[in-house]
Amino acid sequence: MDIAITIFKYLSLLIGTFSGILGLVSDFRDKTSNKITKNGNRLLWLIITSSFISLLLQTLELYNDKMKDQIAEKRTFEEAVKTNRMLKDLNRTLNPIKDISVNYTIQIPLDHPYLNSYRQRLTKQLDSIITSVKSLNIKQKENILFNNYGIFVTHSIKDSIISIEFDQKSSLLPQKMSETLAFYTLKYAQVDYSFYYKSDKNISTPIKPDFYFSIISSNNDLNNRHRINYQLNNQSLYIIGAFLKSDSKFWKKTGKIISIPDLEEAELTMELLGTMVSGDDNIDNKLREIRRYFKLKNSYLNLSEGRELQFRENSIKPINKDGELPKYLFIFPKNINEISSY
């Protein structure tokens, strides 16, 4: 384009010069007939041609300037994209997903008919125990409850006990032989965490997650231990897991999600499976029925050197269908800086 403009400039200059010379040495009109001479016609056409070339030249220059601006804008945009990609890659390198640990709180359906016998024994014994220490101050209550019954007081207001937890050998925990369903219900817990890159995937379809890990805990015989918490005011029972570790050897990943920045617009599902069973089909079918009514109250994920993501009950959406085990969905925001706690 620049070459064409240069050629037209020189051509316009030559035509203008030739027109000027022709005008100096020639007569435009015949003195006798007052008509335009041949040289006059030639000069007229040269002037018209010169004007056309000037107009064309101006148009080409405007178009050329516009093209240069577009090229410059494109180059600036490409440089910005390149810089942004480099910064994102650096951010991914500085914030890898590693050393995962998990906290969760799962509410147990203590009012389920299959847990009726255990619920009756638990509430009856606790009423008797709490009544027996009612007149004591909170410190005395804590000592007696722990030493005599394997009960930890986890929350109190003045001298009133609000919540407690049970030692592994506490007689208030369900007995394996006489309270089998309650025993296995509280003994094991499992939460599967599946991450799907971006939010353009349909979680309802059986697709492979881009990052997956599972947490299994027990109240006595696994490295990941959970606690059994009981709220006296509303007779609610919970499994509480804290600082539960996930071994990277068992992670499953596609490579799309390897760092915190990769969670932008990602989808996370949390599923309460509980694959630990008794081995008796009749009991295990009933265990599945009980686990259908588990509720995930919260889950805290430590994914990268103290970077904790907090998911509470009001920020996760139940997506399991009737008859399925509990499953929850969370969609991460677009801006990675907004990912802190929910």
More confident residue, 204 or 45: 45
The token duo for 160 is: 């009133």
Question: What value does the mean pLDDT take over residues 246-256?
Answer: 92
Question: What value does the mean pLDDT take over residues 133-153?
Answer: 91
Identify the weakest region by mean pLDDT among 92-96, 132-136, 150-154, 336-340: 336-340
Question: What value does the mean pLDDT take over residues 111-127?
Answer: 96
State how far the alpha carbon of 188 is from the alpha carbons of 115, 165, 281, in Å.
16, 16, 17
pLDDT score at 341: 47
State how far the alpha carbon of 193 is from the alpha carbons of 150, 220, 267, 319, in Å.
33, 23, 10, 14
**Considering the entire predicted model, what is its pTM?**
0.75
Question: What value does the mean pLDDT take over residues 209-229?
Answer: 90
